[in-house]
Structure 1
Amino acid sequence: MDEQKRKEAAASLLKEMEKTAARMRALIVAVPPHDLLGFIYAQYMMKAIAIQGAVSGQSNADGTDDLINENQFLLEYVHAALATDPEPPNATFDEASCAELFELSRKLRGLSMVFAITTSADIKNGVFGPDTSDIEFRAKSTWVMLRGNRYQVLEEEFYRYVLAAHDDVLIEVYGVGAAEIAEGFQAMANATRTGHSDAMSEMMMQFEAAQAFAAARGAALEDVMDEWVTANAEESKAAGRAMDDMFRGGIANVSRHTNLPSILLEDLAYRRGEETEFFALGDFSGTPYRTLPARKKPLIQLGSDYYAIDPCFARDAGYRALLYNLLQRKPGYKRTFEDRQKTMSEAAFADILSAQLPGAAIFQEVYYKDPVSRQWSENDTLILIDDVLFLVEAKAGAAATIASPALDFGRHAQAVQDLVIKAYKQCERFFGYLASADEVPLFNRIDGKYQECARVSRSNYRVMVPIGLTVESFSPFSAYCKELPQIEPLLGKHAFVSLSIDDLFVLKRLLPTPGAFAHYVEVRQAVAGTRRAHLFDEFDHLGAYLKTNRFDLTIANQLKDGKSNMVVWDGMSEIVDTAFAGENWEDGPLPAQSFPEEVLRLLQALDATRASGWLSVDSHIRNFDDQGRKNLAKMLSDLRQTLARFPTRYFLQGGDGAPLFVWLNNSAHPIDWAKVNEKASAAALSIKSTDITCVVAEVGVDGFYRSARSFAVRMPTKRTIENMEIYEDAARMTQRGRTVSFDHSKNGISSIRSNKQRRNDPCSCGSGLKYKKCHGR
């Protein structure tokens, strides 16, 4: 399509969008709002039940997602029309008008997506170079489609954390602090999440109570209903509230379902007819490409009560709207507010993930003299745990502008610049400093003076992860930022990762141990450094990891086969989404990768011991696929059970040039480190590789792993009289029956498979016994 035709097509689409939006506005205003809300929510519930209860009995996740998006889009327009128009004197319910609203909503949503494609296609250059076209399309489509991309059950945890810094001022202005406000937002989310089922349960309970009342009097229910209502006034009111929740949009009534004070709800709400911009004359009038009123004030006042008509924006925009209005009421707090926001965001990573970072050295606001500019530079948070380094650059502001990308794509581009590229550049400068010398000093600034606080050597860290952290989710840009031409792996190999505080609350639950978290970040970083590999957000990455483990290798293989220049993994978050969907989500098991019990015990011993290099061994074990983990478990179990007769056992498990040497030591006997090193060196010589991970585990007679620690192999470079025994041992290890062959799995992780042994051959486990007297029994 040439430029002129594209402009004509866009103009035609815009005109049709404006016409459709104006009709929707007229229909919404003509219907009493409570009746309209009741109709929309009832339609949603009936359709959701129909989708979930398909003939096959299987849930239809895609159908449910589409329904949620359609319903959400319409509710946004209900909020917009009510905020824009005063209540008419003659509003009446008309089911045909409501049905038409659903059709118009679907039409407007579809037109908006076509507009996004049409106006973004064929853009040859821009602020993001050749990727500008794709990024602009994503910005526009996300603006229209993406809502509520957080888990409702975690609202209280999020708000409690991010508002705690302002607790005293919140109490001063609103009369309630961070904890009470967080509880209110959680109650708001719960009302829309479980409100209908709660109302149904309440109605059934009161109905059964009324029936029992009638039965006790030996009368028909209708004959004693008035008497029951009089005798059970509170129960009758509860039944009435449940009816309102079910059929008149009462689940959106936050005055009823939360304890938030009216002054706070007033700050978050429009009065009828208060909003003047959304449907004002001009380009994009009333279309989704203007700023929906719910992005500014997510509630609406109906009578004396306040309603979260659009539940997702109540969560997505609530945080920003609350802080904005707090500063409107107390403008003198702005400077202190900014300082507190900065402190909160910089501490968040280490604070929220404290269980995943035990014993880590944490440095905040570290300074150094940049070797290029010769000026003092500052970074937010440096975290050092074993051989893993995290550098976190936090951005305390809002994760996205409320200006439409269709009206002002430049502001959206600037948001990307501020939240991603600025953080990346700060990380880039620090990594350059690390590479400037074998060891570099770091400083704190105290009373205007720089005082050395640590020295860091880059060679000590196997994994180094630069992270940009936002308060709120920045999807899909957080996952897509690797495609920006300015973003390259630092020092040629350390890819930049963008996360949000929202993400951290999920990661800490599903990756509860230091080893699990560190390994996920390793894999996540590998995908962050792989261009043309697209997953929508952090939860898609997490779901892919839980399902596939080394999904970075799978993606790399898919790109390598040449069949496509892009790989898109969609719907991978389902395993994560499901974990937070049920009513009893806190009691159910959270999704996790599968490990044999024997391997888990070894990982737990590594975690408990935490000797230097333990995360490297932990990562190595987690790299094994399912079969590799089973093979490891069998060798561990088989040899562990012989430790009562033999004080030490050892074996070698390999995979893709990264074998694992394991030494099991009866805890009743001291570790003979000279012998351990000799056997490990012989094992390395036998496979002609120094890239070998080694671990020593002490095991009690009860089978409990007392400790586990890594050690470095010292393979000799030439034969001498002193190391003759090591070379001879290596030769024995390569004999028939002692050799190791690798069974390569489809995802690139290999597992050991011992060659078939004859009964009188030396056992391949390294015990020194004949096979028939060891593993051949």
Structure 2
Amino acid sequence: MSKLIDEEKRKEAAASLLKEMEATAARMRELIVTMPAHDLLGYIYAQYMLKAMAVQSAAEENGAAEGHDDLIGDNQFLLEYVHAVLASDVAPEDVSFDEAQCTELFELSRQLREQAMFFAMASSADKKTGVFGPDTADIEFRAKSNWVLLRGNRYQVLEGEFYSYVLAPHNDMLTEVYGIGAADIAAGFQGMADSARSGHADAITDMKRHFDAVQAFVASFDGPEEEAMEAWLAANGEQAQATRRAMDDMLRGGIANVSRHTMLPPALLADLAFRRGEETDFFAPGDYAGTPYRTLPARKKPLIQLGEDFYAIDPCFARDAGYRALLFNLLKRRPDYAKTFKDRQKTMSEAAFADILSSQLPNAALFQEVYYRDPATKQWAENDTLILIDDVLFLVEAKAGAAATIASPALDFARHAQSVQDLVIKAYKQCERFFNYLNSADEVPLYRLADGKNEECGRLRRSDYRVLVPIGLTVESFSPFSTYCKELAEITPLLGKHPFVSLSIDDLFVLKRFLPTPGEFAHYMEVRQAVAGMRRAHLFDEFDHLGAYLKKNRFDLDIADQLRGGNATMVIWDGMSDIVDRCFEGEDWESSPFPTQAFPDEVLRLLGALNATRARGWLSAESRIRNLGEEGRSNLAKMLSDLRQTLSLHPTRYFMLSGDDEPLFIWLQRHDQEIFWAGVNDKASAAALVAKVPDVIGVLVEVNSDGAFRAARPFPVRIPTTRTSANDHIYEDATRMSQRTRVLNSNQPNKPVPAAKARKPGRNDPCPCGSGLKYKKCHGR
């Protein structure tokens, strides 16, 4: 009975908040429609700049920009409502600007935003069941709150790059319809973002330059000041016009005028814009009328036409909704292009992962549109993109459609969730089918479709791959659902051990900058995949995951500890992306270095040598090194430095680093010495016996006379389990090692290994490193 009473109270609270929201929204509409649009925009933008300067000043004094996020959120929320009213109401004949009404409008906007958040809590609380199981209440709350608060979850400076890539397949049709191609349209969207980001600062700079020029002219003019001004205007008509434009940018919302600040043609802008009074749904009678829980007009068309010009009133929706609105209207103008459009979108999205991350996937084996017989149905099945690099396998299932939905979570949460779940679950099921096929035999054939027939194009063994990452890739980010979908009952680790990861093309443009080498990217994906398999552990989006990785490295282990400790029902890490966000804020962001994890120089040199050599197993060796914490990295650096400097006295040195149950055996050797692999393997096996650690990875490093690491080759370390006559010498060596104070050959004789023992194996002989491959396919390459 008490639960029923609580449920009734919750419903009553939600209903009361809904009425309050509707009343607040109606009053905001009344105020906005009675004021001149340009003056209102200018006032809102100016107030934002003044408050931003105050926040910046406080940050410089206190060391933290407190209130900055709230300032941005409040400003954008109000601008969305200005857009909604202008789209919904024709301009009345009698309008006047009233600063007191503007003050009331700011307060109402803050109030409505607050009411919407309380409604999200009241309408979502205590839900025990749903598509996300026991976490449905929390996820529904977050979906509703993000619907109200979250805008522009991309970096403004990357807009041109994103649009250039995703519009390129449609370049010919865009040119035909709008008279402008993909690259120029991308530049236009970047221009919108740049104007919103730095338009006020640019206008202030222009005004100061023009003022200084006028002052200098007046000072040198021989006559009254009024005549001087008239003379200057007569001689500098173009500069005077530029001054008026700068004034308009500063005081009348001119920074939002995309007709002025971009070269996008009117036909394209018109397709992205509402005319005054054109939108009829947002304020129509019914539940949620005019509240943030209806679909804001800016989600449908991000621009507004005022007179002959087009305005991006809220800069974030110009980016978030622009892509879908543009393609929707392109197909509306050319419905005959639908089939070709779909095919091109599919091709673009399937190629995106390997294309954008080409530097992170050097010499990877790439299979697109992989065919095979499904072992369950015996029918031919297809997967999008298979990428094989060293011992890492990426299976990418791309979904070319827009990820975001414009259906409100308040009106129908199940439908809202389903529209994005479909993207995840469909990709997951396709990955699951392929992984089951891969697990159906020791080796499976792969096929490609050629002239209507399936012909074999490769063979694959699951045992060859240490890391297998199934990925669902969308064009746009659709956080937070992309990270929350792991709570769905259907989403479990494939084959019981390979969690599914959801990414977007948006994400890839950021990841490639922060993880520039194959080793960095592969290791991040290992850690990211581990977190993807943790239910009840939530980070908002990919950039929070990236920030957590840069700050903490193995943050999956930290989260696992938190989930184990106490009675935590859910672990949420918030704000981890700040280290990433800051990199895109300054004007010089392109030339500034991106943050990276800290490694001692000696370890960086070793990682660089592994990356340069890229012998089989190099990503495994890099992963083990990157797993090390600060102390482990320091210890590794010291051992490398100390022993490297003694190679002038000893042709080879070695040591074992055995912390954290991920041991490394390092063999250093002068480059002018031929490698005696049998001796290397035996020494590594003996060291492993002494350290009593399993799963040792060995790395042989060749060092030049100047101390530079010329090459670094991983090799598997075989650890004997039973003493035999064949390995008796290894056990004897282990006994000698155990009597020393350290597991390294500090007393190695200063003479090279006899040449007779260093016979180079034949090309078809088994590689002496122990990989099981022929020498020509392993270290003989």
Name which of 642, 645, 654 aligns with 2:646: 642
Q: Is the 8 A contact 1:52 1:58 kept in 2?
A: no
* C-alpha deviation, 1:655, in angstroms: 1.5
Q: Is the 8 A contact 2:357 2:508 kept in 1?
A: yes
Q: Is the 8 A contact 1:386 1:615 kept in 2?
A: yes
* C-alpha deviation, 1:55, in angstroms: 7.0
Change (3 A) 1:734 1:84: same
* C-alpha deviation, 1:556, in angstroms: 1.1
Q: Which residue identity is paired with 2:149? A: M
Q: Does 1:261 find its partner at 2:265?
A: yes
Change (3 A) 1:131 1:447: farther
Moved more, 265-274 or 60-69: 60-69
Q: Does 1:194 find its partner at 2:198?
A: yes
* C-alpha deviation, 1:450, in angstroms: 1.4
Change (3 A) 1:225 1:150: same
* C-alpha deviation, 1:253, in angstroms: 0.4
Name which of 337, 345, 350 aligns with 2:349: 345
Q: Is the 8 A contact 2:538 2:571 kept in 1?
A: yes
Q: Is the 8 A contact 2:621 2:714 kept in 1?
A: yes
Q: How many residues align?
A: 746
Name which of 105, 129, 136 aligns with 1:132: 136
Change (3 A) 1:664 1:57: same
Q: Does 1:483 find its partner at 2:487?
A: yes
Q: Percent identity?
A: 71
CA distance in structure 2 between the aligned counterparts of 1:155 and 1:590, rounded to whole angstroms: 18
Q: Is the 8 A contact 1:495 1:526 kept in 2?
A: yes
Q: Does 1:431 find its partner at 2:453?
A: no
* C-alpha deviation, 1:627, in angstroms: 2.0
Name which of 516, 539, 545 aligns with 1:541: 545
Moved more, 306-315 or 53-62: 53-62
Q: Which residue of 2 aligns with 1:768?
A: 748
Change (3 A) 1:602 1:2: same
Q: Which residue identity is paired with 2:177? A: V
Q: Which residue of 2 aligns with 1:597?
A: 601
Q: Is the 8 A contact 1:254 1:305 kept in 2?
A: yes
Q: Which residue of 1 aligns with 2:340?
A: 336
* C-alpha deviation, 1:131, in angstroms: 2.9
* C-alpha deviation, 1:559, in angstroms: 1.7
CA distance in structure 2 between the aligned counterparts of 1:129 and 1:725, rounded to whole angstroms: 59
Q: Which residue identity is paired with 2:639? A: M
CA distance in structure 1 between the aligned counterparts of 2:556 and 2:404, rounded to whole angstroms: 28
Q: Which residue of 2 aligns with 1:443?
A: 447
Q: Does 1:711 find its partner at 2:691?
A: no
Q: Does 1:12 find its partner at 2:5?
A: no
* C-alpha deviation, 1:769, in angstroms: 6.9
Q: Which residue of 2 aligns with 1:292?
A: 296
Change (3 A) 1:71 1:220: farther
SS in 2 for 1:646: coil
Q: Is the 8 A contact 2:59 2:65 kept in 1?
A: no
Q: Which residue of 1 aligns with 2:359?
A: 355
Q: Which residue of 2 aligns with 1:212?
A: 216
* C-alpha deviation, 1:261, in angstroms: 0.5
Q: Which residue of 2 aligns with 1:467?
A: 471
Q: Which residue identity is paired with 1:367? A: Y
Moved more, 208-217 or 144-153: 208-217
Q: Which residue of 2 aligns with 1:745?
A: none
Q: Which residue of 2 aligns with 1:675?
A: 679
Q: Which residue identity is paired with 1:375? A: Q
Q: Which residue of 1 aligns with 2:253?
A: 249
* C-alpha deviation, 1:765, in angstroms: 4.6
Q: Which residue of 1 aligns with 2:532?
A: 528
Moved more, 416-425 or 538-547: 416-425
SS in 2 for 1:572: coil
Name which of 390, 413, 419 aligns with 1:415: 419
CA distance in structure 2 between the aligned counterparts of 1:621 and 1:55, rounded to whole angstroms: 38
Moved more, 50-59 or 476-485: 50-59
Post-superposition Cα deviations, 1:542-564, rounded to whole Å, max 9, x if no partner, equal 00100111111111112222252
Q: Does 1:318 find its partner at 2:322?
A: yes
* C-alpha deviation, 1:160, in angstroms: 0.3
TM-score of the pair, normalised by structure 2? 0.94
Q: Is the 8 A contact 2:650 2:749 kept in 1?
A: no
Q: Does 1:611 find its partner at 2:605?
A: no
Name which of 580, 583, 586 aligns with 1:579: 583
Q: Is the 8 A contact 1:185 1:315 kept in 2?
A: yes
CA distance in structure 1 between the aligned counterparts of 2:727 and 2:98, rounded to whole angstroms: 93
Q: Which residue identity is paired with 1:378? A: E
Q: Does 1:163 find its partner at 2:167?
A: yes
Post-superposition Cα deviations, 1:351-397, rounded to whole Å, max 9, x if no partner, equal 00000000111111111111112222111111110000001111111
CA distance in structure 2 between the aligned counterparts of 1:521 and 1:733, rounded to whole angstroms: 38
Q: Which residue of 2 aligns with 1:80?
A: 84
Q: Is the 8 A contact 1:400 1:412 kept in 2?
A: no
CA distance in structure 2 between the aligned counterparts of 1:190 and 1:519, rounded to whole angstroms: 34
Change (3 A) 1:222 1:695: farther
CA distance in structure 2 between the aligned counterparts of 1:716 and 1:336, rounded to whole angstroms: 60
Moved more, 572-581 or 484-493: 484-493
TM-score of the pair, normalised by structure 1? 0.94
Name which of 721, 727, 732 aligns with 2:731: 727
CA distance in structure 1 between the aligned counterparts of 2:263 and 2:411, rounded to whole angstroms: 38
CA distance in structure 2 between the aligned counterparts of 1:507 and 1:221, rounded to whole angstroms: 58
Post-superposition Cα deviations, 1:567-588, rounded to whole Å, max 9, x if no partner, equal 2111110000000110110011
Q: Which residue identity is paired with 2:53? A: I
Q: Which residue of 2 aligns with 1:742?
A: none
CA distance in structure 2 between the aligned counterparts of 1:55 and 1:571, rounded to whole angstroms: 18
Q: Which residue identity is paired with 2:748? A: G
SS in 2 for 1:57: helix
Q: Which residue of 2 aligns with 1:743?
A: none
CA distance in structure 2 between the aligned counterparts of 1:674 and 1:126, rounded to whole angstroms: 60
Q: Which residue identity is paired with 2:117? A: M
Q: Which residue identity is paired with 2:406? A: I
Moved more, 58-67 or 176-185: 58-67
CA distance in structure 2 between the aligned counterparts of 1:728 and 1:473, rounded to whole angstroms: 59
Q: Which residue identity is paired with 2:480? A: P
CA distance in structure 2 between the aligned counterparts of 1:219 and 1:461, rounded to whole angstroms: 85
* C-alpha deviation, 1:12, in angstroms: 1.3
SS in 2 for 1:656: helix
Q: Which residue of 1 aligns with 2:229?
A: 225
SS in 1 for 2:381: strand
SS in 1 for 2:377: coil
